[in-house]
Structure 1
Amino acid sequence: MNFKFFKTKFTLYLLFWLGTSCFFYKEGKSEVSLLKQDQKTSISNSDSGIKQGNSQSLLSRNLLQEDEFATGWKKKSPSKAFLLSLALPGTGQIYSGDKTKGKLFLSAEAVWWGSFWLFKTLGNWKEEDYKNFAAARAGVNLEGKPEDFFSNLSFYSSRDEYNQFTRLYNGPTEPIYPEDDLWNWEWESTEMRLKYRDLRNQSKTFDRRALYSVGAAILSRIVSGLDAARTAKKYNQKKSLEQAGWEFHPQLDFSKSGLKWKLLCKKSF
């Protein structure tokens, strides 16, 4: 009897323990499942947030690009274009978008300064020629002589002739050349003096052309600067009209009545 009661009681405890274990096992398993699901959800939300952030960043980037595309150009400064071409002709035109005129002005600048160098070099060569010729044909001492001395050599056959004419026409108080070997000259013939004059005139002609080249370079800078400022203004006006949807196309029509010029205007909507 006691043995049966003990057996029954043990069986009940065993069943209760098994039932409790199964219950807690299911609860623990469900909690683990919920925890994993929460982790997956948080990871998914995090990925979604990153993707959303990337999408927003990409959208912002696209909007910025669209804005830049909508503008599509940068305004040119006429004053900057003027100063650029004033410093170096053609650079203001290139800055303002007209490379063709820029290259033309740059080429002209190269021509002017190339001409200056060429004419100055030729003038110096001719100067050496006429001075050496004077030393050889008139016995001139070249050391320390001013420019007017070499000019007088062209018109007077000797120092004595120059002194006589100076005293005669300008009076006895007019300065004359000292009567010593340092300032003496006497041409072998009138032909030699005229040849000397021709060499000296050639030298002076080259010097004047070199000076004209510098003047042309300065004038080119002014013209290029004014044109560059005008080109920058035209560039800004053209781009503003294009942005507003306006297009202008000049046309030439050849007909029996003659040549006609037309300006075609278009407006985009």
Structure 2
Amino acid sequence: MKKKIFCFVLLCSVSLWAQTVISIDESISRNQNKSIALSLGASLLLPGTGEYYLGEKQLLRPFIWTDAALWITTIGSYFIGEKYISSAHNYAVTHAGVSSTKKSVDFLNTVADYRSRGGVFGQNSNPDMNEDYNQAMIRSGKSVDEEYPNTMEYQWDWGSSDYPENTEHMDIYKNMLRNYRVSRIVFQVSVGALILNRVVSFLDVMRIYRATSSKKMTRRWDIAPQFYPDGSGAVFSYQF
């Protein structure tokens, strides 16, 4: 009788052990047959799609909406900036006599810094150091045509400061350029955020794949300095 009870208990134990062994967590191996390269590439192209490919569908929407908002901001700030610089150029043509058709930002900034290229037309009872661009270049020991040719194309004159409307025109013009610079800052920040969104998605895909593929990923990080004639930088590489 005791032998029968012992055998029964032993069989039950073996049965329970067998059930425990064959019961596996499918979540840790559900992505073992999926391509890590494909998921990483998808995340770099469109953040969130790599996670979606690996079965993390709830992460798609946050990444997609974030990327869409950043793209709208990037494109919008770029074209708004172009509109501001065009408006500033047209305003300088109208009120300062600029005849250059080139919308050079550096030249337009110079037009904002000096009242004229070679002295304002008419008498000015209150001249200042920024009245005459050519004189400012001479005082700094430079040639008057070192930065821009001394031709009609690069002449401008906002008029004497004796007339308040002339100064007002300059202030309006400077504000246009200020708005242009702000739009360019927004553009650059948005581009950086687009890159960051892809880096975050890239790393997130690696985390998910390691947790759900039952595969060991050997990693190798490498940062190599780079030197160029006009500067330096670094190349970051990740191998697996």
TM-score category of the 2 structures, normalised to the smaller one: 0.5 to 0.7
- Corresponding position: 1:214 with 2:214: no
Cα distance in structure 1, aligned partners of 2:190 and 2:147: 37
Q: 1:140 to 1:233 in 2, by over 3 A?
A: same
Cα distance in structure 2, aligned partners of 1:176 and 1:163: 11
Q: 1:205 to 1:154 in 2, by over 3 A?
A: same
* Deviation at residue 172 of structure 1 after TM alignment: 4.5
Structure 1 unaligned spans of 5+: 1-69, 238-269
Q: Deviations over 1:155-186 (max 9, x none)?
A: 10000110110111134487264544322111
* Deviation at residue 224 of structure 1 after TM alignment: 0.5
- Corresponding position: 1:159 with 2:117: yes
For 1:170, the aligned partner's letter is G
1:102 alignment counterpart:
60
Counterpart contact for 1:82–1:92, Cα < 8 Å: yes
- Count of residues in correspondence between the two structures: 168
Identity, in percent, stands at 29
Question: Counterpart of 2:55 in 1: which secondary structure?
Answer: coil
For 2:157, the aligned partner's letter is E
- Residue 185 of structure 1, aligned match among 156, 171, 188: 156
Provide the aligned C-alpha RMSD in A. 2.4
Q: 1:145 to 1:159 in 2, by over 3 A?
A: farther
- Residue 78 of structure 2, aligned match among 103, 120, 125: 120
Structure 2 length-normalised TM: 0.63
Structure 1 length-normalised TM: 0.57
Counterpart contact for 2:137–2:144, Cα < 8 Å: no
Cα distance in structure 1, aligned partners of 2:58 and 2:150: 65
* Deviation at residue 105 of structure 1 after TM alignment: 1.0
For 2:139, the aligned partner's letter is L
- Corresponding position: 1:84 with 2:42: yes
Q: 1:108 to 1:199 in 2, by over 3 A?
A: same
Cα distance in structure 2, aligned partners of 1:89 and 1:175: 48
For 2:211, the aligned partner's letter is K
2:205 alignment counterpart:
228
Counterpart contact for 1:166–1:176, Cα < 8 Å: no
Question: Counterpart of 1:170 in 2: which secondary structure?
Answer: coil
For 1:128, the aligned partner's letter is S
Cα distance in structure 2, aligned partners of 1:74 and 1:146: 53
Cα distance in structure 1, aligned partners of 2:145 and 2:31: 70
- Corresponding position: 1:170 with 2:141: yes
Question: Counterpart of 2:156 in 1: which secondary structure?
Answer: coil
Question: Counterpart of 1:153 in 2: which secondary structure?
Answer: helix
Superposition misfits of 4+ residues, deviation over 6 angstroms:
none
Higher Cα Rg: structure 1 or 2? 1
For 2:179, the aligned partner's letter is Q
